[in-house]
Amino acid sequence: MRTSLAPERVELAAAYRLIAEFGMDDSIFTHISAKAPADEGEHAFLINPYGLRFDEVTAGALVTINLDGEILKDPHGAGINKAGFTIHSAVHAARPDVACVLHTHTVAGVAVASMKEGLLPLNQWSAPFFNRIAYHDYEGIALNHEERARIVADLGDRNAMILRNHGLLTCGRSVGEAFRTMMDLDRACQAQVAIMGSGLTPNVLSDELAEYVASQEESWAEQHDAKGKPDVEWAAYLRLCKARHPEFDQ
């Protein structure tokens, strides 16, 4: 990738294009945000300009906004979606360990978010989330800034959350980590919807086995993400993005 733009912008733009590539976008709605480069503002984050489809987002078009909602940089003058600011500013303000917040409204994600049982430990995609996924009750379209405190309280120190009757949210120490977590979470939801719709009896994993798988996943993450080892899966996704969307980093 040949670009003079900051890597934070390039990777975030890639995440937007990839979410669209995998059919996980929702028109011009939902958001992915990432910490802004230091020279763009203290405690600021990047988010998509309102009105662009995810497959139209470029690194240079991303809007820089601070935690008070003040727009610091808006290349196209499009502004942002206020509902997106509510959710993303809450997490960025409360979780300095989080570099990226990713929120989707996929059909499978909303389906599982609309089930009282939530996500069940049914397979190798869902087991890693056992006892490690947060839930936040639906309060309507996220325009009330008072909801931010409740979002943060429900999320706690976890990196995945089901917004009941609404959708999915993941966090990461990098854009790649948040993206990979969302891919696994959405696949887990897709599998659950398929299993529930089959009419056959789900083979739910025991709590002991689900916990074991979740601990295996945590151990892997500690050995790779936390110690700064190359994220080869994210690198593979970036190559796909560049091949399919060569202008995304402009």
Report pLDDT for 110: 98
Give the gyration radius of the chain's Cα atoms.
18
The C-alpha atoms of residue 74 and residue 138 are separated, in whole angstroms, by 30
Backbone angles phi, psi at 211, to 5 degrees: -65, -40
Report pLDDT for 1: 47
* Mean pLDDT in residue range 229-244: 93
Residue 185 has pLDDT above 90, yes or no: yes
The C-alpha atoms of residue 160 and residue 191 are separated, in whole angstroms, by 17
pLDDT above 70: percentage of residues in the chain: 97
The C-alpha atoms of residue 82 and residue 147 are separated, in whole angstroms, by 13
| Lookup result for tokens 């294009």 | 17
Q: Average per-residue pLDDT in the chain?
A: 94
Tell me the domains of the chain and their CATH numbers. 7-244 (3.40.225.10)
| Lookup result for tokens 């009419």 | 199
- Please tell me the least confidently modeled range out of 11-25, 173-187, 210-224, 232-246: 210-224
Residue 62 structure tokens: 């991303």
User: How far is C-alpha 133 from the chain's CA centre?
Assistant: 13
Residue 223 has pLDDT above 80, yes or no: no
Residue 20 has pLDDT above 70, yes or no: yes
Q: How is 92-138 classified by DSSP, letter by letter?
A: HHH-TT-SEEEEE--HHHHHHHTSTT-S---STTTGGGTTT-EEE--
CB 134 within 8 A of CB 91: no
| 204 or 142, greater pLDDT | 204
CB 109 within 8 A of CB 30: no
CB 78 within 8 A of CB 142: no
Residue 2 has pLDDT above 70, yes or no: no
pTM, rounded to two decimals: 0.94
Report pLDDT for 51: 94
Q: Which of 19, 228, 8 is nearest to 103 (CA)?
A: 19
pLDDT tens-digit map of 133-172:
999 999 998 888 889 999 999 999 999 999 999 999 999 9
Residue 3 has pLDDT above 70, yes or no: no
CB 160 within 8 A of CB 78: no
Residue 227 has pLDDT above 80, yes or no: no
Backbone angles phi, psi at 167, to 5 degrees: 170, -155
Report pLDDT for 226: 59
- DSSP, res 199: S
pLDDT tens-digit map of 70-101:
999 999 899 999 888 899 999 999 999 999 99
